[in-house]
Amino acid sequence: MRTRAWTIVLAGLILGPLTAQAQELPLRLTWVDRTGKVISTVGEAGIFRSPELSPDGKRIAVHRHEGQRGGDIWLDDSRGGLTRFTADTSQTEDNASPIFSPDGGRIVFASLRNGKWGLYIKGVDGRGAEQLLIESGSRKMPMSWSPDGQFIIYWIADGTQWVIPATGKGAPQRFLDTSSTHAQISPDGKWVAYNSIGGLWVKPFPTGTGKWQISVNGGVGATWRRDSREMYFFSTDGRIYAVSVATAGTQFMPGQPQALFRPASIVTSGTTYYPAPDGQRFLVPTTTAAENTAPIQLLLNWPAELESKK
């Protein structure tokens, strides 16, 4: 039986099946408009995951993966590049998932140290000691910081999400049940979007009745415009969608999702994009191959394909 050769087309790069190695292609942090047109790039290429903007849109934090050793968090600098924010040591195997505080002065992040996953807070200026919020043997990642600065939502490996005081004083409280992830509190502090069974949902924050489904064909990685009047998500069709938001008291009224653009990136973990505060630009890790005007072709199973043409 002849095996059929096949390809995948992504942003001008033609690939075969996406393997772990293929997913480690260099990426460049790229600003694009709502149509996906490139505006500018930030720093050099690297294996970037989970880009995050400060609430005022002036600072960038991102995890830069470095193979088996995990990786560190990097911040943009005044020269248009990136500088290391955390330092991987013999006791630290991974620093990831940075989330800015509402005032932009601190970052909460996940770190694997001495065999335990913990959440740490560190000042953006690098001064002062890190603050340990919580640690255990279960993998965990911060998801969202409440706009009043009081609470942090985080995810653990069993699929539940929890809320913990940002001061670290007080026990965490279970917030969302199993099979949920990526809880994102709206900037006005009234709603939280999250992924769960059936797609993307919104419910009142921190408590309240009602739950609204935002996407019917799947959707992950919700984010909000700074005024909470529009939200965005990454769909299973590979596009970024925008959803207008209207509210009336305790009622949440989402509009019809509108397709914006298809990111030219290969990222399978972490957030694949982040919007500017006004929603007119998006920061996406983009494959450097997408910068080439001529496509590169990689054909798999080529001996079988030649045999079929004899």
pLDDT in tens, the chain (310 residues): 323 222 223 333 222 333 333 346 788 899 999 999 999 998 888 888 888 999 999 999 999 887 666 789 999 876 778 888 988 655 566 899 999 999 999 999 999 988 899 999 999 988 878 999 999 999 999 999 999 999 999 999 888 999 999 998 889 999 987 688 889 999 999 999 998 887 899 999 988 888 999 987 778 889 999 999 999 998 888 899 999 999 998 999 999 999 999 886 544 444 678 999 999 999 998 876 545 444 434 444 444 444 444 4
Beta-carbon contacts of 53 under 8 Å, excluding residues fewer than 6 positions away, are: 59, 60, 100, 274, 275, 276, 277, 283
CATH dotted code for 8-308:
2.120.10.30
Work out whether the CA dihedral 256, 283, 95, 133 comes out positive or negative.
negative
* Beta pairing partners, 29: 42, 285
- Can you read off the two tokens belonging to residue 3? 């095996």
| 10 in Cβ contact with 295 (< 8 Å) | no
130's CB contacts (< 8 A; 6+ apart) are 120, 121, 122
Sign of the torsion formed by the C-alpha atoms of 36, 29, 196 and 227:
negative
Task: Quote the CA–CA distance of 246 and 238 in Å, as a whole number.
Answer: 26
pTM reported for the whole predicted model: 0.82
Neighbours of 184 (CB within 10 A): 23
Length of the chain: 310
Q: What's the CA dihedral at 6, 8, 12, 14 to 10 degrees?
A: -40
pLDDT of residue 218: 75
Per the CB < 8 A criterion, the answer to whether 144 and 184 are in contact is yes
Return the domain boundaries, the chain.
Answer: 8-308
Answer left, alpha or beta for residue 217, where phi above 0 means left and psi between -120 and 50 means alpha: alpha
Q: CA 310, CA 296: separation in Å to the nearest integer?
A: 26
Q: Taking Cα atoms as reference points, which of 114, 98, 94 lies closest to residue 106?
A: 98
